[in-house]
Chains A and B, each alone.
Chain A
Amino acid sequence: MNDTDIKSRVIAIIQSIAPEVEADALRADQPLRRQVDLDSMDWLNVLLGVHEQLQVDIPEADYGRLVTLDDFVAYLRAKLGTRA
């Protein structure tokens, strides 16, 4: 899975929780949770979506590394890479 694939999977997961989000309007280098109104329960649901669809379990200690969409993609790429 390349970065573009990972990014579109993550956006799809976010949209399943926040349907009003438009993929084109998201700035991948800006803090994600400030652009998309995600409370802590929504955030947990995003991580559950990642767990179910990409089989990556993100520990709470790593939340701080997932500020922007770019961060998120880089993080998942590293996790998926190590497993393969």
Chain B
Amino acid sequence: MAPADRALEMRKAIGAAMSRSKREIPHYYLSETIPMARAAAWLARANEERPVTARLLMGVLQLKAVAHALGQVPQLNGFWRDGGFQPGKGVHIGVAIALRQGGLIAPALLDVANKDLDQLMRELTDLVRRARAGSLRSSEMSDPTITVTNLGEQGSEAVYGVIYPPQVALVGFGRMVVRPWIEDGQPCASPLVTASLAADHRASDGHSGARFLTELRERLQQPEDL
């Protein structure tokens, strides 16, 4: 298929999935500002000792923190099928990857909760490479039990996602910004990230959604445990 046709096909596929999502899924949205000073300092120290071939990205810490937080709020991890919630077997995170020719794709990073950061980094690198080369397996598209979108360093400050059916939640990370923050009663300049949750109200409610974001925030304050 010519690149232009592929791009058109992809737009149609995204359009169909997102239309279905907005038609069928009663979304609710929550967001939380997460101080990232500890995670950034931990990462800088970890990468100091690593050659460029083994360096970690903040996105990997965020994915692992999402997986851990989902352990506490499992009703966000899984599928809405046949009128009921079906919990995911393991946390398989669909990682939204923007493609250079336009469009995006969200293949699964499998079993995120049980892998260490180095392994996740290797697998994420491989996943992004294969997504851009167009060599993903079809099972990788159907495996995800939740999606994470990370707008990264060139992105916006916050993103409120559209859930990819039949999943029941999408977590978004905005660009890290340095802003005034109060830490122990004292103002300081702190790197901050806005994390958001779009979730299916048929499967969960705002109370559990808020617990998830709180849990996520706390996990990112203890990067050494990720």
CB–CB A18/B57 < 8 A = no
Please encode chain A, from 47 to 75, with 1 for each CB lying within 8 Å of some chain B CB and 0 for all others: 11011000001111100000000000000
Evaluate contact between A44 and B57: CB separation under 8 angstroms.
Answer: yes
Q: Return the CB mask of B150-165 against A: 1 if under 8 Å, else 0.
A: 0011100000000000
CB-defined contacts of B183 to chain A, threshold 8 Å: none
Q: Give the residues in chain B near A61, CB-CB below 8 Å.
A: 44, 48
Query: Known interface pairs A19-B100, A60-B44. Does A40 touch B59 (Cβ–Cβ under 8 Å)?
Result: yes
Q: How distant is A65 from chain B, measured CB to nearest CB, in Å? A: 15
A57 touches which one: B52, B58, B100, B128 (CB < 8 A)? Answer: B52
B125/A40 in contact, CB under 8 A: no
Please tell me the number of chain B residues within 8 Å of chain A, measured between CB atoms: 18
Residues of A within 8 A of B142 (CB): none
Which residues of B have CB within 8 Å of A37? 100, 154
Contact A39 B152 (CB under 8 A): yes
Using a CB–CB distance below 8 Å, which chain B residues touch chain A? 44, 47-48, 51-53, 55, 57-59, 98, 100, 124-125, 128, 152-154
